[in-house]
Amino acid sequence: MHALKPMNELQQEIFDMCLQYLYAHENPQQMIKNSSLFKEGYDAFGLSDNEQRELRDMVLDRYNPSPREIADLGHIFFSTHKYEFGLLAVQLIKKHRPRMDRYVYEAVFKWLEEGVENSALADILSNKITPVFLELGIASLDDFETWRTASSKWTRRTAALTMLYLMDKASPERLLEYIKPLLNDEDKDVQYGVGFFLRELWGMHSEEVEAFLIKHKDGAAPMVLHLASQKMSIDKKKQLGRNAMAKTGKSFRSTPSKHKPQRQTHQPRQKSQRQPGNRKPVQKWSKSTQPQQRRDFHKKGRPNVVEKEMPEIHADNIPDWDSFDDTY
């Protein structure tokens, strides 16, 4: 395998080391298993999460690349179209989030435009990287407006999801004005990001979002309306039209439909000829009945089934994008 971008000596050394590790830990069975999760396609080596983290740590420990060096490496890694290489670029820059600058901002835009090929990497960038540009003042809301008309659907999706960071920092009017051009984006992956953002914004500014959706319901994509109104009441959804109603395949009619009874074509069941003397006496139950006299219902154990325990929650496995020292 060769990268499609020219490399300097350091980049070539890092690339060769990564490639050697990836081939040594290649797992076709895991790759086939993971491929079902990627509808856009999945070209990968099949590394486990632990192996991917080990590769990241090897690059950081041996070479300690700077944020700008990682930004340039990202262009090389993404040019391979291998999932692990793209993920490695994101993981490396994630370790340098407090030290990112405008150069990295421009590089991430190019990653999305030229390299990102699935929602997994796009959403990691939207959740872990691009909000930091806003927090550190590297980029502003106005800067991200240019992302809304980008050629890649993943850039436009990121333009919507990045605004989750500003929900409690910018006015709802400004955020709704920002998201308006994306309401009728032709790509469903972008529509999903827009609808998700509006649904979360509705949780904080319900009146503003509802008025906005009603005003633009005729120009918004059906998926956007459907996702944005998921947590609304039925009455609110009806105001947005049929596109906002839950597509469950069931009617919302509360009363059963009136159909004519079907003609009976089978013989009626014969009543049992049990003798009165064979009947068991029915025990009467009341609130005053002693607990031990009532029927005891116990869940039967399943000796051949191992019950899974819930994993413990630790500070290092909670996906907080703004925890600079997390271990992902």
Amino acid at 76: I
CB 85 within 8 A of CB 6: no
Residues 103 and 199 in one domain: no
Last residue of a domain, one of 224, 241, 258: 241
Residues 92 and 25 in one domain: yes
Please report whether residue 287 resides in a domain. no
Please report, for the domain that includes residue 83, its CATH number: 1.25.10.90
Which H/E stretch holds residue 196? helix 188-202
Distances (CA, A) of 122 to 76, 92, 118: 17, 15, 7
Nearest C-alpha neighbor of 178 from the set 159, 193, 192, 165:
159
Spatial CB neighbours of 280, under 8 Å, sequence gap ≥ 6: none
Each residue's pLDDT, cut to its tens digit, for the chain (328 residues) gives 555 668 999 999 999 999 999 999 999 999 898 888 888 888 999 999 999 999 999 999 999 999 999 999 999 999 999 999 999 999 999 999 999 999 999 999 999 999 999 999 999 999 999 999 999 999 999 999 999 999 999 999 999 999 999 999 999 999 999 999 999 999 999 999 999 999 999 999 999 999 999 999 999 999 999 999 999 999 999 988 766 655 533 333 333 344 444 444 555 555 555 555 555 555 555 555 555 544 444 444 444 434 444 344 333 333 343 444 444 4
Please report whether residue 73 resides in a domain. yes
Secondary structure (3-state) at 302? coil
Domain region containing 70: 1-114
Please report whether residue 119 resides in a domain. no
Distances (CA, A) of 267 to 81, 261, 264, 273, 274: 67, 16, 8, 17, 20
Residues 2 and 110 in one domain: yes
Structure tokens at 17: 């080391």
